[in-house]
Amino acid sequence: MILETKNLEFSYPDGTKAIDDISITIPEGKKVSFVGKNGSGKSTLFLLLNGTLKPKSGKVLFGGKEVNYSASGLRELRKKVGIVFQNSDDQLFAPTVYQDIAFGPLNLGYSKEEIERVVNQMLDHFGLQSLKDKPPHHLSGGQKKRVAIAGVLAMDPDIIILDEPLSNLDPVGADEILDILNELNGLGKTIIISTHDVDLAYQWSDYVYLLSSSKLINEGTPGFVFSNDEEVRNSALKSPFILDVYRELEKRWLAPGNAQPKDIP
Ligand code: ADP
């Protein structure tokens, strides 16, 4: 189902405007990145998308219908739009890994047998069986992230939103999480991440939203969004490394009198 916003606005109680007139239709079944420097509004937008925050004005729509902010409306939305926080410690609070993954299905009123089935499926799938009785806060960063994703996936959402999913992970842990995200996308789920890592956004995403100072600056394929170098730099981001290399090569090869590719041994 399609997740959209229309003229979305949000300010925090202290008056900080965090989202300024954002209207988007998130492409279904794609790998989507929200790119922007710290403080550009990514986390706030994500909390609006799954109903944790309520807009000051404008709307969030899921499946073409405006979000219903009653307890039952929010439960329905969160079943379909799961969110994984940047800091796993904000997400994992049960005494054991097993109970943490079971929390969502329990809340949704699944039967005991169904919960056992789903949690065991998640533990197997994410290689967490041997850790199931451990307290989540004893795990490594990568393991915690896997538990957090497993807990969200246990509710079988259509859309999974992950706030800076690779932050604080070593390269091996980051690759594991990227493999999981790609696999989930292969199963038809829309995967939405936030990042200030332009190289990741350029290489991983099907579709990119560029945010700056609470506003949507541009959107489209990574090639399209990052080709506007000025816009990217005005958003206080660097250009993706691979594009810089390409531009540099183009400059050298295309400048009159310079070596052409065929001349380079
Ligand atoms: P990002 O995720 O891109 O780093 P945020 O959504 O966290 O951006 O922040 C957007 C703006 O809202 C920033 O100016 C930030 O300082 C402000 N902000 C975020 N959380 C709060 C809060 N709880 N109270 C007041 N201002 C906040």
- Residue of the CA atom closest to atom 13 of ligand 1: 39
Check: CB of residue 7 under 8 Å from CB of residue 59.
yes
Name the residue with higher pLDDT: 65 or 107: 65
| Per-residue pLDDT, 249 | 86
**pLDDT exceeds 70 at position 122:** yes
44: Cβ below 6 Å to ligand 1? Answer: yes
Under the banding of pLDDT at 50, 70 and 90, the label for residue 260 is low
Mutate to test the pocket of ligand 1, among 33, 38, 44 (most ligand atoms within 8 A of CB): 44
> Which residues, including other chains, have CB under 8 Å from residue 56's CB and lie 6 or more apart?
9, 10, 11
**Ligand 1 atom at minimum distance from 16 CA:** 26
Mutate to test the pocket of ligand 1, among 43, 167, 217 (most ligand atoms within 8 A of CB): 43
Residue type, 162: L
Check: CB of residue 243 under 8 Å from CB of residue 232.
no
How many Cβ atoms are within 10 Å of 165's Cβ, its own excluded?
Answer: 25
pTM: 0.92
| Per-residue pLDDT, 264 | 54
Q: Domains plus CATH for the chain? A: 3-86+159-263 (3.40.50.300)
**Ligand 1 atom at minimum distance from 47 CA:** 6
| Per-residue pLDDT, 235 | 87
27: Cβ below 6 Å to ligand 1? Answer: no
CA dist list (Å): 55 to 21, 112, 129: 11, 36, 40
Mean pLDDT of the chain: 93
